């Protein structure tokens, strides 16, 4: 008898795939060592297409030596989900309790019956990307909360937005509820940091542009906090008269290259003497000179 005892990591991935053909093919690969689509189809009493689809999913799960997979590549949102028929959707929604729960949750979020196109998109995420019902429901609620936070209460994400977020999660290999909750918490902390920095840069009453967001994200990734970036902002405005993103970025990059990231390090290693320190002395000399000239001219005219 074949003794297969996958570790928890592999088991979690197989369970999250929510596809019996994937788990069955994984067991077959453990026994046979290498992939042979025709042989697998015969041994498992499946069609060649069913085995091909299962192997593609197994490859995306990157399960190591049990399945000699192709080099992993990112799944792009521009790639179309498989074409599902209305018959596929009706069949799965009637006999698959997991997908039925996904449709019910989606209808609760949107407050309406879903269109055929909406259901096909959700089924593609569920079937093609291998999201479990719980994971897909959590992701839909996350997208709804994010959209409302960004655009205001009552605004809901398009199904295309949900599909793009699903691809992002798939590429990050977010397969379990624990991974998803950690990702959501980290994303919330980052949005909070972005908001504080936006406030420090005196940007109010509007959302950041894509370019502005990229600048701030890169500075956070370098290890700069709000206080340090406030110093860079102050120097930028002092020297240029306004917030020049390219100019400020050069300041931040120069600090990063020198290993300077905190306000304390900036004060210690990159302090600058106030411009008024030398400017005041020069101004005093000029005033004395002008006063002397004035007195001389006045005395001459007496």
pLDDT in tens, 205-229: 888 898 999 999 999 999 999 999 9
**pLDDT score, position 24:** 87
- Band (298; pLDDT cuts 50, 70, 90): low
**Local structure of 271: helix, strand or coil:** coil
d(CA 2, CA 91): 34
* Sequence-separated (6 or more) residues with CB below 8 Å from residue 191: 149
Mean per-residue pLDDT, 277-296: 47
Two structure tokens written together for 178:
């624990």
**Average of per-residue pLDDT values in the chain:** 81
Contact 148, 155 (CB under 8 A): yes
User: pLDDT by residue (tens digit) across 222-268?
Assistant: 999 999 999 999 999 999 999 999 999 999 999 999 999 999 999 98
User: pLDDT by residue (tens digit) across 141-168?
Assistant: 999 999 998 888 889 999 999 999 999 9
User: pLDDT by residue (tens digit) across 11-45?
Assistant: 777 776 677 888 888 888 887 777 888 888 888 88
**pLDDT score, position 77:** 53
275 or 172, which is more confident: 172
- pLDDT at 293 > cutoff 60: no
Mean per-residue pLDDT, 124-137: 90
Comparing CA positions, the residue from 68, 44, 60, 61 lying closest to residue 10 is 61
Residue 66 has what DSSP assignment?
G
**pLDDT score, position 20:** 83
Comparing CA positions, the residue from 42, 1, 3, 7 lying closest to residue 25 is 42
Range with the lowest mean pLDDT among 136-150, 198-212, 270-284?
Answer: 270-284
Residue 80 has what DSSP assignment?
P
**pLDDT score, position 10:** 76
Residue 260 has what DSSP assignment?
-
Contact 13, 61 (CB under 8 A): yes
- Band (2; pLDDT cuts 50, 70, 90): very low
Comparing CA positions, the residue from 4, 185, 19 lying closest to residue 96 is 19
**pLDDT score, position 275:** 40
* Sequence-separated (6 or more) residues with CB below 8 Å from residue 205: none
- Please give the share of the chain, as a percent, with pLDDT higher than 90: 45
- Band (9; pLDDT cuts 50, 70, 90): low
**pLDDT score, position 294:** 58
**pLDDT score, position 68:** 44
Two structure tokens written together for 24:
């069955």
What is the CB neighbour count within 10 angstroms for residue 277? Answer: 8
**pLDDT score, position 96:** 86
d(CA 227, CA 219): 12
**pLDDT score, position 26:** 85
**Angle, CA of 223, 181 and 179, to the nearest 5°:** 85
Mean per-residue pLDDT, 72-92: 69
Range with the lowest mean pLDDT among 59-73, 132-146, 190-204, 227-241?
Answer: 59-73
284 or 296, which is more confident: 296
Alpha helices in the chain (DSSP H): 8-17, 20-32, 37-44, 48-61, 86-95, 97-110, 116-127, 133-151, 159-171, 177-200, 210-222, 226-240, 245-257, 263-269, 275-300
What is the CB neighbour count within 10 angstroms for residue 110? Answer: 16
55 or 264, which is more confident: 264
What is the CB neighbour count within 10 angstroms for residue 136? Answer: 25
d(CA 152, CA 145): 10
Contact 170, 129 (CB under 8 A): yes
Contact 88, 119 (CB under 8 A): no
């Amino acid at each position: 008898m074949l003794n297969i005892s996958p570790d928890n990591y592999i088991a979690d991935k197989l369970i999250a795939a929510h596809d019996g053909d994937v788990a069955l093919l994984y067991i077959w690969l453990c026994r046979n060592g290498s992939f042979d689509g025709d042989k697998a189809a015969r041994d498992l009493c499946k069609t060649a297409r069913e085995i091909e689809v299962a192997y593609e999913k197994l490859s995306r799960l990157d399960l190591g030596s049990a399945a000699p997979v192709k080099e992993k590549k990112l799944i792009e949102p521009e790639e179309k989900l498989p074409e599902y028929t209305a018959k596929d959707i009706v069949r799965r929604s009637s006999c698959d309790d997991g997908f039925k729960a996904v449709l019910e949750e989606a209808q609760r979020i949107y407050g309406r019956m879903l269109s055929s196109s909406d259901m096909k998109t959700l089924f593609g995420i569920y079937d093609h990307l291998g999201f479990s019902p719980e994971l897909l429901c959590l992701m839909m609620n996350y997208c709804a909360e994010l959209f409302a936070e960004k655009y205001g209460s009552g605004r809901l994400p398009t199904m295309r937005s949900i599909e793009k977020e699903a691809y992002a999660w798939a590429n990050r290999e977010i397969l379990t509820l624990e991974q998803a909750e950690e990702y959501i918490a980290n994303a919330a902390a980052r949005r909070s940091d972005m908001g504080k920095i936006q406030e420090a840069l005196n940007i109010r009453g509007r959302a950041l542009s894509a370019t502005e967001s990229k600048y701030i994200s890169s500075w956070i990734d370098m290890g700069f906090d709000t206080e340090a970036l406030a110093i860079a902002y102050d120097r930028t405005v002092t020297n240029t008269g306004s917030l020049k993103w390219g100019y400020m970025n050069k300041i931040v990059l120069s600090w990063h290259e020198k290993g300077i990231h905190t306000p304390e390090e900036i004060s210690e290693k990159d302090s600058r003497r106030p411009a008024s320190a030398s400017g005041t002395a020069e101004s005093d000399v000029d005033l004395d000179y002008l006063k002397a000239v004035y007195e001389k001219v006045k005395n001459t005219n007496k």
